[in-house]
Structure 1
Amino acid sequence: MSINVYAIATPFVIALALGEFVYCVARRNGYYSFQDSIASVGTAVLNQCVNVAVALLMLPLFTILGQLAPWKLDVASPWALLGLFLGVDFLFYWFHRFGHRTNIGWAAHSPHHSTEELNYAVALRASVTQRIFSFLFYWPLVIVGFSPEAVLAMVAFHLVLQFIPHTRVIPKLPRWIESWLNTPSHHRVHHARNAIYIDKNYAGFLIIWDKMFGTYADETEECSYGVTTPPNTWDPTVINFQFWAKLASDAVKTRSGWDRLRLWVMPTGWRPADLPAREETKWQREGQEVKFQSTELPNIRGYLVFQMIASMPFMLLVSHHASPLVGWQKVMLSVLFWGMATAWGGMMESKRWGLALEMARVFAMGGAVTLWLVQANAPLSWRALTVGWLAVTLVWISVARASNRSPAPVARGVS
């Protein structure tokens, strides 16, 4: 079962997201926001790279723990496979609950909730630090006898399944299904910031865990999505590390050594007593929901859509098991992806450095990937794809820069 589930599932995930997007555009239901979707996809590329890296780091640790198992459970048996799936689903509930109920857990998990929409692009926006915590919760399955490869593959498969409930398109299902499955309705509640929905429905696949442990809520009123203190930016660094920064700042500022230590594992929002209350941004104004929007650089939407699509095959150079790149090259490409997502965020907030960063990223990625593919004697189609992408991108950027420098036309009166 040592398969790369992330790489195999990527076409399915992309197809489902595109299908929902086309449906929403045709229905004009407003379920997709351009800026939010671009930010989510940019973060998704980063997270996919991290998923693979963390899995590779966890495999040696799980292998050592597996030597302590009193017996071996063969997932070729349907019952053992079912047991592994249920074990992952059960442990995910507690991992997810930890991610909402503790300061350090929320620091790792909150980027996934930072978006103010709910759709399949949102499902892709995950924290780059969360996956480390996730795998650390699944070690008991190795101890009881499942192979490390089987556990990591099942965790990945379970993660792919959780993509499906992230939608507003699917209404409530028949009661007999809603009673045991984590449906889109249940997961809409989980992503909502309405007071009655906060910290509810942590389930991954089976909603029965929430019903057993007192964290279940039914969808009874329209959901408002996001966190109660929105980041109000498209910058992936801020989105991923803003709560980490707040915790680190509290740890430095408090005079209590004990509070400095326990701050991290205290309930979400807890602060040392010697620190003043923190001013937070609000998501409502005069009782009405206010979603973050920004002014973009002119004429960038078509370019960003093109780059979003083009980023997918480059992402496979990091995540796919058959990638011709070696380890350090994948790390460098992941760093360039971070620059990509940061540049996109800057361009959507009318920051001129965003376009400069994007140009530097394009030159660096185009040159490096082309060189690496030639050195690896990769198929000619890959090299042609990279060169073609680079050429189209440079032409597009040149045209955009020229149009941005052009003076506005002077209005002339008609005599």
Structure 2
Amino acid sequence: MDFNPVILSIPLYFFLIGIELVYQLIKKVRVYRTNDAISNISCGISSQVMNAVWGVLSIAMYQLVYEYGAVFQIPDTWWSWLILFILVDFCYYWFHRASHEINFLWNTAHVVHHQSEDYNLSVALRQSSFGGVFSMLFYLPLALMGFSAYAFLTVKGLNLIYQFWIHTEAIEKLPKWFEYLFNTPSHHRVHHGRNPKYIDRNHAGTLMIWDRMFGTFQAEEEKPTYGVTKPTNTWNPVWANVLPIVDMTNQLRATPGFWNKLKVLFYKPGWQPVELGGYQMAPEVDKETYNKFDVHPHMPMIRYVFVQFILVLVFTSYFLFNTTSYNLPTKLVLAGFIMWSIGQLGILMENRKSWIPSEYIRLLASAILIVFLTGGMTSYLGAGGFVILFGFWLFKASKKV
């Protein structure tokens, strides 16, 4: 398996989420909602699975630029890695800022990360399925400078790992010197706020100095209201990725004129021509009337979905840790099954009874996959037992929907 700090850190992510859950119990505050947390982690699953399928393209892009365009090759030393760490963070700042200020990038590469109306460590895992390829364009100058793909991918992974812990409300303010230099939970809570004063602020990855230098810093004042100005209102991670693109496509169709259509793509989110009303500012949040999206089924179905989700999560981890051992057709089949599973479970959390028959089909597909991956008489017995057990559980749970 190729070295990937983000994948190798998966156990650490869930360990820290467990600590945050303990914090929730001790403080008697509601930090997590089961439906939202499953949706967040499912978006993370989708992102990592898609990256396993086509992430090789972005890596190949970097490697080609490095091999044929690099001025010289920088050796792997402690000082070169320190310089690379600063440069990766600098490039990340500009990609992150661009993904907020360019409508096309916002809707394809980043909006998914901001859709949750909660703020906890599971939100850190909520990532777009299409962001990896676009973000690589902002890092190609590092390949031209002569930093190897191995060094770049390692440092970039460490940069992302750092950003995990700042997605929490459990930590308030840190010492002033640390708040000044580094990104912290306080700074990043601002970034996730949908309040007009907080929108498009604090784009830093690790170092807060970029926001201070380029005029995008905002200190945390009142508690943010989290989410996006147009709530997604779905637990389905597949639809959460597709819906913003559908909305942008519909906006393009409704916008007259070629140049106006280009502006829809490359101007800030909310831009539209004067004849359609002009730029739409983010509205203030009315905390008296604001309610989070919170559709959920009855408890028997929640229990069923939760257990199935854990099984899918375990299978996804197995897939990600062994992805290099599969040929492309097998990889596509397994990735497709994972995407189908998280989408299906998200739909079940929305109380859609009409989708229950497709869950029986997914259980049968799971049994076929068990036989395919393991083989032998034992696998047939295990697959049969799997279908009978969970099919009966689903039947009982569906009576309460």
Q: Does the alignment reach a TM-score above 0.5?
A: yes
> In the alignment, what sits opposite 2:144?
143
Is the CA contact 1:228–1:283 (under 8 Å) kept in the aligned structure 2? no
5+ residue gaps in structure 1? 408-415
Distance 1:278 1:200, change over 3 A: closer
> In the alignment, what sits opposite 1:84?
84
Distance 1:54 1:155, change over 3 A: farther
Is the CA contact 1:180–1:207 (under 8 Å) kept in the aligned structure 2? yes
| Distance apart, 1:115 and its partner CA | 0.4
| Distance apart, 1:387 and its partner CA | 7.5
Distance 1:89 1:395, change over 3 A: same
5+ residue gaps in structure 2? none
The 2-side partners of 1:119 and 1:333 are apart by 29
AA aligned opposite 2:142: L
Distance 1:278 1:196, change over 3 A: closer
**2:246 corresponds to 1:252:** no
Q: 1:216-271: CA deviations, max 9, x gaps? A: 11111112111121111212233112221122112223331222233211111112
> In the alignment, what sits opposite 2:345?
344
Distance 1:360 1:252, change over 3 A: same
Distance 1:369 1:277, change over 3 A: farther
**2:158 corresponds to 1:157:** yes
| Root-mean-square deviation (Å) | 2.9
> In the alignment, what sits opposite 2:314?
313
Percent of aligned pairs with the same amino acid? 31
> In the alignment, what sits opposite 1:47?
47
> In the alignment, what sits opposite 1:19?
19
The 2-side partners of 1:288 and 1:82 are apart by 48
**2:36 corresponds to 1:36:** yes
AA aligned opposite 2:55: A
**2:163 corresponds to 1:169:** no
Is the CA contact 2:92–2:204 (under 8 Å) kept in the aligned structure 1? yes
AA aligned opposite 1:347: L
The SS at the match of 1:127 is coil
The 2-side partners of 1:406 and 1:83 are apart by 58
Of residues 278-287 and 260-269 in structure 1, the stretch that sits farther from structure 2 once superposed is 278-287
Is the CA contact 2:367–2:387 (under 8 Å) kept in the aligned structure 1? no
Q: TM-score, normalised by structure 2?
A: 0.90
Is the CA contact 2:92–2:205 (under 8 Å) kept in the aligned structure 1? yes
> In the alignment, what sits opposite 1:401?
395
| Distance apart, 1:37 and its partner CA | 0.7
AA aligned opposite 1:247: M
Is the CA contact 2:191–2:201 (under 8 Å) kept in the aligned structure 1? yes
Q: TM-score, normalised by structure 1?
A: 0.88
Distance 1:387 1:19, change over 3 A: farther
Distance 1:280 1:140, change over 3 A: closer
The 1-side partners of 2:346 and 2:296 are apart by 11
The 1-side partners of 2:167 and 2:33 are apart by 15
Distance 1:278 1:197, change over 3 A: closer
> In the alignment, what sits opposite 1:124?
125
The 2-side partners of 1:115 and 1:387 are apart by 40
The SS at the match of 1:199 is coil
Q: Report the number of matched residues.
A: 399
Matches within 5 A, 1:108-123: 108-123=109-124
The 2-side partners of 1:287 and 1:406 are apart by 33
> In the alignment, what sits opposite 1:294?
295
The 1-side partners of 2:281 and 2:155 are apart by 39
Distance 1:361 1:62, change over 3 A: same
Is the CA contact 2:193–2:199 (under 8 Å) kept in the aligned structure 1? yes
Distance 1:307 1:14, change over 3 A: same
The SS at the match of 2:9 is helix
The SS at the match of 2:69 is coil
**2:225 corresponds to 1:224:** yes
AA aligned opposite 1:55: G
Distance 1:395 1:61, change over 3 A: same
> In the alignment, what sits opposite 1:412?
none
Is the CA contact 1:84–1:146 (under 8 Å) kept in the aligned structure 2? yes
The 2-side partners of 1:25 and 1:148 are apart by 43
Is the CA contact 2:120–2:169 (under 8 Å) kept in the aligned structure 1? yes
Q: 1:314-366: CA deviations, max 9, x gaps? A: 11343224664322222222222222122122211110133323332232133
| Distance apart, 1:56 and its partner CA | 1.1
The 2-side partners of 1:374 and 1:72 are apart by 48
Is the CA contact 2:112–2:126 (under 8 Å) kept in the aligned structure 1? yes
